[in-house]
Amino acid sequence: ANMKLKLGTGILIVVPIPKEHSTSGSFICINDNFYGIFFREQNIEGSAETPFLLSRVNHLIGGASLASSIL
């Protein structure tokens, strides 16, 4: 339907990981304003933001997010 309507937007399809591999959202508290400022200060922009953010989250929770992503 998205393509037929020619909206020019993307589609995100997600499948939850098994509960035994998930982590609590309370492990991660990301302040959008902080990262927005940090990205600007470090000249991180565009497509470089997501890999940086995923790497940072993985570091903060001791590798659990990477292990979950590999499933």
- State pLDDT tens for residues 13-43: 888 877 777 766 655 566 666 777 777 888 8
Q: Cα separation of 10 and 69, whole Å?
A: 21
**pTM for this entry:** 0.50
Q: Cα separation of 21 and 18, whole Å?
A: 6
20 in Cβ contact with 64 (< 8 Å): no
CB atoms within 10 A of CB 33: 7
CB atoms within 10 A of CB 28: 13
The 3-state DSSP class for residue 7 equals: coil
Task: Give the model's pLDDT for residue 43.
Answer: 86
Kindly state the DSSP code that residue 37 receives in the 8-state scheme.
H
